[in-house]
Amino acid sequence: MKESEDEVELAIANLIPWLVEQGSEPPFYFAAIASNGHTVVGFFDRNREGVFEASLTAEYEADGRGLLLPINMMATDKTGRAGHLLIAQDGRLSKPTTLH
């Protein structure tokens, strides 16, 4: 679903700066896991201009319906620091939280 893909992009746009504020270091590896099992995995790193770019490394399409809300997002850096946020059923983003 296009709407959910846009929400995942927005969630990542919130999660990556938060990780940087927490002292995390790129590259950042992320996973988005939807309520129907659809999963997207990838990483972000800075390009030569210093801008973050995404690369998708894996995708599992559970039932052909795409990413269904709610969606859990997790990202980690090379040191093991990790953050999580939830895209709720209504599309709202939770605040990022630290995972231990």
Q: pLDDT value at position 11?
A: 80
- Considering the entire predicted model, what is its pTM? 0.83
Write the DSSP symbol of residue 18: H
Cβ(2)–Cβ(91) under 8 Å?
no
Place of tokens 């709720």: 88
Token code pair at residue 6: 């846009």
Confidence of residue 4 (pLDDT cuts 50, 70, 90): low
Could you tell me the sign of the dihedral formed by the alpha carbons of 60, 66, 69, 74, in that order?
A: positive
What are the boundaries of each domain within the chain?
2-99
Q: pLDDT value at position 1?
A: 47
Per-residue pLDDT tens digits for 33-77: 999 999 999 998 989 998 888 888 999 998 988 889 999 999 999
Q: pLDDT value at position 14?
A: 79
